[in-house]
Amino acid sequence: MAAGVAGVGLGLSWPSKLARSPNSILPPSSPSSRSFRRRVVKMAVSVDERKKNFTLQKSEEAFNAAKELMPGGVNSPVRAFKSVGGQPIVFDSVKGSHMWDIDGNEYIDYVGSWGPAIIGHADDEVLAALAEAMKKGTSFGAPCLLENVLAEMVISAVPSIEMVRFVNSGTEACMGVLRLARAFTGREKIIKFEGCYHGHADPFLVKAGSGVATLGLPDSPGEIAAVILEPVVGNSGFIPPKPGFLEDLRRITKENDTLLIFDEVMTGFRLSYGGAQEYFGITPDLTTLGKIIGGGLPVGAYGGRRDIMEMVAPAGPMYQAGTLSGNPLAMTAGIHTLKRLKQPGNYQYLDKITSELVQGIIDAAKRAGHAICGGSIYGMFGFFFTEGPVYEFADAKKSDTAKFAKFFRGMLEEGVYFAPSQFEAGFTSLAHTSEDIQQTIEAAEKVLQQL
């Protein structure tokens, strides 16, 4: 993976490192997961009948209308299905591990709202807590006690975070942490990596340069404020780090008095309760978070060492503000999501179902004669239609994207919703059942034989 100032390789040979668990395939118990499991088993019948009745007519009509109202018909580009072709889907409702579109089609979901739905969509406990919170108001524009509660939970969980600032999105979190790194170090230059995504702010959309991979900072000694990266890349597909890479990067940044920033918007609370930094045992100086800590509501956060965070206004001179930051609804959803996640056995369960899913798809693809590689860590996964190994974004780009597009469309017709791009990670949740996983593998077997 190429870096903006000095290229640094990132990746792990496939299949990736997996944390194995002897735990049962049944998910951790909760009232909502038990009731939904029964409903899924009842609904999961006659895939052939589902395909015969599959239509996206209402989605097509709604999307055509949307294109007259919003650029490209969407509010985030990937939703337009440009990478996979065909008709974008307009969804109507979600529950547990399933989604329903406005045409009445049902899907097993492996997008999870792009990561937040780790305990399942529309969780009963979270919805009940939100209903109570809304009785008090949706936004105060002032401090609320819930901010303290979620802040304490985040600080106690994430090794690098001694103080935290809540914002409204992952992009805001990365913008804030970039400004903070420059303010604290008095330097301007930032190293980012090609293939890592840190939101849509201009500084992070610059294409990184390529060249010989190196773990040094020879071009700009004493000028680098920070190095920022996804510790496990999720926005180029699923690309974990090579063994030793994060350790070397931590050592080199310390030697150069450069801050190390982990963008854990995607990996935070997903690879472990303490995020990727707990999983790999590497503590950065600063961390960005999002997705899961809002329980499905808009949220972001950045945090780190106390001496750095005390630069943030009003404690220090680095200004950053937000009207809806720390709003009571996002705080409530985040608190109840993290409470559920902390229960024993949850991450072992995610590892069990996710590794079973990925291995099932890989085996099915190989039986059908397709080149494929893939891997997972707990509830995050990915696969590429290429022999591999995938070490960095340049390797990922060798994937057969046309084949993935056909696979994606075929799986939709079989009632399975993957991310509509070869270059996006997938996600499982505590609501996914063994029936979901088996049905997905069976659908993949069928589709892959037809490609």
Q: Which residues are catalytic?
A: 197, 263, 291
Q: Nearest-CA neighbor of 266 among 244, 242, 287?
A: 287
- Token look-up 């696979």 returns 407
Q: In what order do the strands lie in the sheet with 380-384?
A: 373-377, 380-384, 426-427
Q: Quick count: other Cβ atoms within 10 Å of Cβ 352?
A: 25
Q: Structure tokens of 157?
A: 């969980």
How far apart CA 148 and CA 447 sit, in angstroms, is: 49
Q: What is the DSSP letter of 153?
A: H
Q: What is the spatial distance between Cα 7 and Cα 213, in angstroms, rounded to a whole number? A: 5
Residue type, 169: S
* Contact indicator for 173, 300 with CB cutoff of 8 Å: yes
Task: Decide: 238 and 16 in contact? Cβ < 8 Å.
Answer: yes
DSSP 3-state assignment of 427?
A: strand
Backbone angles phi, psi at 154, to 5 degrees: -65, -45
The token pair that represents 340 in the structure block: 């559920």
Helix (H) or strand (E) holding 360: helix 346-367
